[in-house]
């Protein structure tokens, strides 16, 4: 992946950075300090100039000249807030407003206070032509930042008409030309600006940016070099040169500039940012993340760092976090190529292919030459299983870059996944030919065949792959996997053993042989293999984890725990054994032990957010609600802009019943990422539970606007309408969802709402048509059978359960319900059906009760009583089971116990379905 950076700033001013000054105790006069400051400025040593001016102000805090000059230097170092403060103080001390106002406007631009520029920086009747032109161009830049392109560009033309000697006016006109994709005109404006004596360094910065936009990195480097000759401390030029050198692989050249930034501003956001760029280039992503967190402590909205954070999160597999950062960046720089591509890749990783294509749309113009964007569009289409469309995107990319082996590999895989082997094989063969020393295309082809269970073709490809990689044990393992797929376990074992003959320690072969041992029910042999690995490599993590898994499968929990403890001890910073330990202890309800491991993990990895999350999970399971909340809050504080961390906090708050706090957190998530569906869905559910159905509907409709092609917003509206007792409106919302995506779960929700709305005939007709078109749709048929059963439409319920059992003869639930229905109809098949259900699920309270009740009604009271007693022991709080127990006790002569059971039952549950029958029975005893 290319190095993340801020886009060339022809279209956007850079974000201001905070610089630090220091004091001097040189025994000089105020004027001497001011003169030294001017000398430093002339030599481009702006930090030295700041120091001298601060020394001058120590001698005379009311020096208007020193304050004015300090404000101007702060503007050059892009410290807007500091500049505004000094300039306003200079005006208070007597500096002419005519001089100060344009400078304050520059400061406000640096601060991002664009509306204040429009409101406060305006020319007056007495304003000189030069200052009028300066103010007009400032207002033009503010309008551009506010998204008002036409008004801003008009303002630059007005400025030029008043005074054509203002360089910033030409910068603005260049921005306007770029926005219209008129690159030659943009350069023409910059060429006009460079003829002017003022702001030469600033103009060269824009020329460098223009060269970047036109993919001329060497020319851009030359321009930034000219800037740094004049202003060696120019942070923006240093940052841009660092970025370009890292992109070009010139790490040492970049390192020199990074050290210069760190020397100028040690332990500041700019220094951490450029260090993060280098760490990213070196693929040290955890360290990159740490450096960026330092940036965000003082500059939480630093957009270049936001982009880099998104790219880093992507590389670390934290896709939700990556999406959050990238969405925020693109909100400021919509359509920026690099950010758009990473966001699309992130969405593909999250199985959001439609969103990825929507994201890529600005880069997919008919004349697009963006190979990466076209390739990503192909990947997204393939993820949607739209192989034909994917092939079109890949073909367009290949036409631009026909010698791109990775692209040809993707094309081949796309054809293969569509079953188009006549086209897929040549593409992969071409890719393999382009890279004779690499085997990626061959390997992917084999894996694709294995995934599609085309094992013979996989074996054929492995033969050619082996010629390219003779004696490679990985090839033998692939062959073994192919034979395993063919269920030819003898040859599979031979292949895995061949891999070990080449390399006795090749772990994938050892693990594959152990899997065969387990399949053949020889766990001791599998165990011996992993123990053999550990005899040579006593701290082999994967072997210890495999042994823990093996012991878990053998239901030997103590041995599994022992291996996990050994793995954790041998690898103090490994998360996986500790995560498994915590999970195992929680599953065993050994909460203190889970807490101990989680705490140890966080102590060993104090900066690991995964470890902190693990501790919160253990605390919540252990009932330490306050501590769990504290951990979740700490996680959220460490990652204030990470959606995943904020969602964890909201979920913890909800689990503790803190609805108001959860609502605040969820709204914060939606401030970070306004269209984040999980937060929207959780908020809708929260509002429904809180009785705020109006708010729930509002959020659901926002979802529909943000994601018009998604069913989620309509499903949530349906839930909210049902909660508001508006089933007709709910049915309409569910029907909208069905028009987008026909899923059986959505159809069931529609049927429930339509039935509640009184549209029984329509509901019945629609569900009949659904099952006619899809007779094997078990969830819908099971729902319909239960619906008929609940509606006391017994014959129809019986019919549906009989169809289910034709398809699934050993479905215990269907058998149990059918037995109960048969008994209601006095059908002699009731008992046999109940016996079969009970045999399939003997410990289930429902099957025990149904069979017991049938036996009671058939006069077999003793066995019936025993079964019902068993059912009550499993589910003691179900009133119907308690009533059945009382009947059984009465029938077997235990009338005193029956009376006691009924009295207790009616006192506790006076309104259960059989309450009337229970009262009659009680009165008869």
**What CATH number is attached to the domain comprising 227?**
1.25.40.10
**Residue 251 pLDDT more than 90?**
no
Please report the pLDDT score of residue 593 as a whole number.
Answer: 92
Q: Do 355 and 434 share a domain, yes or no?
A: yes
Q: How many CA atoms lie within 13 A of 185 on its CB side?
A: 11
- From the list 832, 833, 806, the residue with the least C-alpha distance to 818 is 833
Q: Across residues 613-624, what is the average pLDDT?
A: 88
Distances (CA, A) of 632 to 58, 593, 620, 728, 901: 47, 20, 10, 40, 47
| Domain boundary, last residue among 376, 406, 438 | 438
Structure confidence by residue, pLDDT tens digits, 638-677: 777 667 788 889 989 998 899 999 999 999 888 877 777 8
Mean pLDDT of 352-379: 88
The token pair at 468 is 């390219």
Nearest alpha carbon to residue 146 among 180, 182, 109, 120? 109
DSSP string, 387-405: HHHHHHHHHHHHHH-TT-H
838 shares a domain with 886: yes
Query: Same domain, yes or no, for 384 and 410?
Result: yes
Q: Which domain does 266 fall in, by range?
A: 214-290
Over residues 273-308, the pLDDT tens digits come to: 889 999 998 889 999 999 999 989 888 888 889 999
**The token pair that represents 782 in the structure block:** 């099971």
Determine the Cα–Cα distance for residues 177 and 462; give it in Å rounded to an integer: 55
Do the domain assignments include residue 30? no
Kindly list the distances between the CA atom of residue 371 and the CA atoms of 211, 244, 391, 400, in Å, as whole numbers in the listed order.
20, 20, 14, 7
Higher confidence at residue 866 or residue 398?
866
For residue range 744-786, what is the model confidence (pLDDT) as tens digits? Answer: 999 999 999 999 999 999 999 999 999 999 998 899 999 999 9
pLDDT in tens, 3-56: 333 333 333 323 222 223 334 444 678 888 888 888 888 887 788 888 888 888
Question: Per the structure block, which two tokens stand in for 108?
Answer: 């406000």
Q: Tell me the C-alpha distance between 202 and 196, whole Å.
A: 11
841 and 910 in a common domain: yes
Assess whether 907 and 841 both reside in one domain: yes
Residue bearing tokens 């204030």: 640
**Confidence (pLDDT) at 160:** 96
CA dist., res. 654 & res. 662, Å (int):
6
Q: What is the mean pLDDT of the chain?
A: 87
Which residue from 183, 182, 106, 98 is spatially nearest to 141, judged by alpha carbons?
A: 106
Q: Kindly state whether residue 505 falls inside one of the protein's structural domains.
A: yes
Q: According to the model, what pLDDT value does residue 6 have? A: 37
Is 221 contained in some domain?
Answer: yes
Tell me: do 432 and 462 sit in the same domain: no
Confidence bin at 413 (pLDDT 50/70/90): low
* 359 lies in the same domain as 286: no
C-alpha to C-alpha distance for 56 and 784, rounded to whole angstroms: 87
For 175, 217, 378, 419, 477, the CA distances from 429, given in Å and listed in that order, are: 47, 35, 20, 16, 22
Give the model's pLDDT for residue 195: 95
Q: Could you say which of 406, 438, 470 is where a domain stops?
A: 438
Widest CA span in the chain? 115
pLDDT at 686: 94
- Strand positions, DSSP E, 715-832: none
- DSSP character for 361? G
Q: Which two tokens stand for residue 888?
A: 């059984």
User: Above 90 in pLDDT, residue 249?
Assistant: no
**Are 352 and 420 in a shared domain?**
yes
Taking the C-alpha atoms of residue 834 and residue 868, their distance in angstroms, rounded to an integer, is 13
Token couple for 54: 């601060």
How far is it, in rounded angstroms, from Cα 312 to Cα 286?
8
Q: What is the pLDDT of residues 447-459, one digit of tens each?
A: 767 776 778 988 9
The pair phi, psi for residue 64, each rounded to 5°, is -65, -40
Lowest mean pLDDT among 15-24, 129-138, 204-213: 15-24
482 and 422 housed in the same domain: no
Please report the pLDDT score of residue 16 as a whole number: 28
Residue 110 has pLDDT above 70, yes or no: yes
What does pTM read for this prediction?
Answer: 0.47
What's the rounded Cα separation, in Å, for the pair 582 and 593? 8
Predicted pLDDT at 375:
86
Q: Is position 75 within any domain? A: no
- Determine if residue 755 is left, alpha or beta; phi over 0 gives left, psi from -120 to 50 gives alpha, anything else beta: alpha
Residue 212: pLDDT over 70: yes
Does one domain contain both 472 and 421? no
Confidence of residue 919 (pLDDT cuts 50, 70, 90): very high
Helix (H/G/I), strand (E/B), else coil: 911 = coil
Q: Which of 274, 290, 306 is at the close of a domain?
A: 290
How far, in Å, are 120, 315, 592, 604, 611 from residue 597 at the CA level? 59, 28, 9, 10, 10
Residue 514 has pLDDT above 70, yes or no: yes
Q: Does residue 21 sit within a domain?
A: no
The predicted pLDDT at position 587 comes to 85
855 and 888 assigned to the same domain: yes
Domain-located, residue 510: yes
Is residue 469 one of the residues assigned to a domain?
Answer: yes
Question: Are 434 and 464 within one domain?
Answer: no
Instruction: Using the CB atoms, write b or e for 52-61: b if 16+ within 10 Å.
Output: bbbbbbeebe
E strand spans, 425-476: none
How many folded domains does the chain comprise?
A: 4
Q: How many CB atoms lie within 10 A of CB 381?
A: 22
Rounded Cα gap, residues 642 and 286, in angstroms? 15
The helix or strand, by DSSP H or E, that contains position 524, with its residue range, turns out to be helix 523-536
CA 311 to chain centre: 12
> Are the CB atoms for 719 and 756 separated by under 8 Å?
no
pLDDT band at 331; cut points 50, 70, 90: confident
Q: Is residue 409 situated within a structural domain?
A: yes
pLDDT, tens only, 430-443: 666 666 555 666 77
């Amino acid at each position: 992946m290319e190095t993340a950076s801020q886009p060339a700033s022809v279209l956007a001013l850079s974000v201001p950075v905070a610089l630090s000054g220091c004091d001097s105790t040189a025994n000089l006069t105020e004027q001497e300090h001011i003169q030294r400051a001017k000398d430093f400025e002339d030599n481009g040593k702006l930090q030295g100039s700041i120091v001298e001016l601060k020394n001058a102000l120590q001698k005379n805090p009311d020096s208007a000249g020193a304050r004015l000059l300090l404000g101007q230097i702060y503007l050059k170092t892009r410290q807007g807030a500091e500049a505004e403060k000094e300039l306003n103080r200079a005006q208070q001390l007597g500096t002419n407003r005519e001089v100060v106002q344009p400078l304050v406007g520059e400061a406000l631009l640096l601060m991002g206070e664009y509306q204040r520029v429009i409101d406060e920086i305006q020319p007056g009747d007495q304003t000189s032509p030069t200052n009028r032109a300066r103010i007009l161009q400032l207002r033009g830049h503010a309008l551009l930042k506010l998204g008002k392109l036409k008004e801003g560009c008009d303002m630059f033309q007005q400025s030029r008409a008043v005074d054509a000697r203002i360089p910033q006016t030409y910068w603005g006109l260049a921005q306007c030309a770029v926005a219209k994709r008129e690159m030659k005109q943009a350069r023409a404006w910059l060429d006009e600006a460079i003829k002017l004596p003022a702001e030469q360094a600033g103009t060269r910065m824009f020329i460098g940016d223009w060269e970047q936009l036109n993919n001329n990195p060497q020319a851009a480097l030359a321009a930034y070099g000219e800037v740094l000759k004049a202003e060696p401390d120019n942070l923006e030029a240093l940052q841009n040169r660092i970025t370009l050198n890292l992109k070009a692989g010139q790490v040492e050249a970049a390192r020199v500039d990074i050290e210069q930034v760190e020397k100028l501003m040690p332990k500041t956001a700019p220094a951490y940012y450029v260090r993060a760029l280098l760490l990213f280039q070196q693929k040290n992503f955890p360290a990159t993340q740490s450096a960026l967190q330092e940036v965000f402590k003082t500059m939480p909205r630093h957009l270049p760092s936001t982009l880099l954070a998104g790219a880093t999160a992507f590389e670390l597999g934290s896709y939700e976090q990556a999406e959050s950062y990238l969405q925020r960046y693109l909100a400021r720089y919509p359509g920026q190529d690099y950010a758009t591509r990473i966001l699309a890749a992130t969405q593909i990783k999250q199985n959001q292919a439609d969103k990825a294509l929507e994201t890529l749309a600005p880069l997919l113009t008919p004349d697009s030459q963006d190979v990466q964007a076209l390739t990503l569009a192909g990947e997204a289409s393939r993820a949607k299983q739209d192989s034909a469309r994917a092939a079109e995107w890949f073909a367009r990319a290949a036409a631009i870059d026909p010698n791109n082996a990775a692209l040809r590999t993707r094309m081949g895989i796309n054809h293969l996944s569509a079953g188009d082997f006549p086209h897929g094989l040549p593409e992969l063969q071409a890719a393999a030919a382009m890279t004779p020393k690499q085997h990626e295309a061959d390997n992917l082809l084999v894996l694709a065949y294995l995934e599609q269970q085309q094992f013979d073709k996989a074996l054929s490809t492995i033969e050619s792959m082996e010629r390219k990689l003779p004696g490679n044990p990985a090839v033998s393992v692939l062959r073994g996997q192919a034979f395993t797929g063919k269920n030819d376990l003898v040859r599979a074992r031979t292949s895995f053993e061949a891999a070990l003959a080449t390399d006795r320690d090749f772990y994938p072969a050892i693990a594959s042989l152990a899997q065969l041992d387990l399949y053949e029910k020889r766990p001791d042999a599998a165990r011996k293999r992993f123990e053999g690995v550990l005899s040579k490599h006593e701290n082999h993590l994967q072997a210890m984890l495999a042994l823990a898994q093996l012991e878990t499968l053998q239901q030997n929990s103590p041995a599994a725990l022992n291996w996990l403890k050994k793995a954790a001890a041998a690898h103090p910073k490994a998360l996986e054994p500790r995560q498994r330990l915590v999970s195992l202890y929680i599953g065993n309800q050994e909460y203190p032990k889970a807490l101990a491991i989680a705490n140890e993990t966080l102590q060993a990895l104090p900066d690991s957010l995964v470890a902190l999350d693990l501790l919160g999970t253990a605390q919540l399971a252990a009932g330490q609600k306050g501590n769990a909340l504290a951990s979740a809050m700490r996680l959220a504080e460490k990652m204030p802009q990470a959606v995943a961390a904020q969602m964890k906090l909201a979920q913890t708050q909800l689990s503790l019943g803190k609805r108001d706090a959860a609502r605040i957190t969820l709204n914060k998530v939606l401030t970070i990422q306004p269209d984040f569906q999980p937060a929207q869905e959780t908020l809708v559910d929260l509002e429904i539970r809180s009785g705020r159905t109006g708010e729930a509907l509002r959020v659901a409709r926002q979802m529909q606007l943000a994601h018009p092609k998604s069913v989620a917003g309509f499903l949530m509206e349906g839930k909210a309408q049902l909660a508001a007792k508006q089933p007709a409106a709910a049915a309409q919302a569910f029907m909208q969802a069905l028009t987008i995506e026909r899923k059986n779960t959505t159809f069931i929700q529609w049927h429930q709402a339509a039935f509640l709305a009184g549209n029984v005939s329509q509901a019945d007709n629609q569900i009949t048509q659904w099952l006619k078109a899809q007779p094997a749709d078990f969830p819908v048929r099971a729902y319909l059978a239960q619906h008929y059963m609940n509606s006391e439409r017994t014959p129809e319920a019986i019919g549906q359960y009989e169809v289910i059992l034709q398809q699934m003869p050993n479905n215990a639930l269907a058998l149990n319900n059918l037995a109960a229905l048969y008994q209601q109809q006095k059908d002699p098949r009731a008992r046999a059906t109940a016996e079969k259900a009970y045999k399939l699920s003997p410990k289930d309270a429902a099957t025990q009760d149904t069979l017991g009740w049938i036996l009671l009604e058939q006069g077999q009271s003793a066995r019936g009583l025993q079964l019902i007693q068993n059912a009550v022991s499993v589910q003691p709080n179900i009133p119907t089971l308690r009533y059945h127990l009382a009947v059984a006790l009465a029938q077997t002569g235990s009338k005193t116990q029956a009376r006691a059971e009924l009295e207790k039952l009616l006192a506790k549950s006076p309104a259960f379905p059989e309450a009337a029958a229970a009262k009659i029975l009680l009165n008869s005893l």
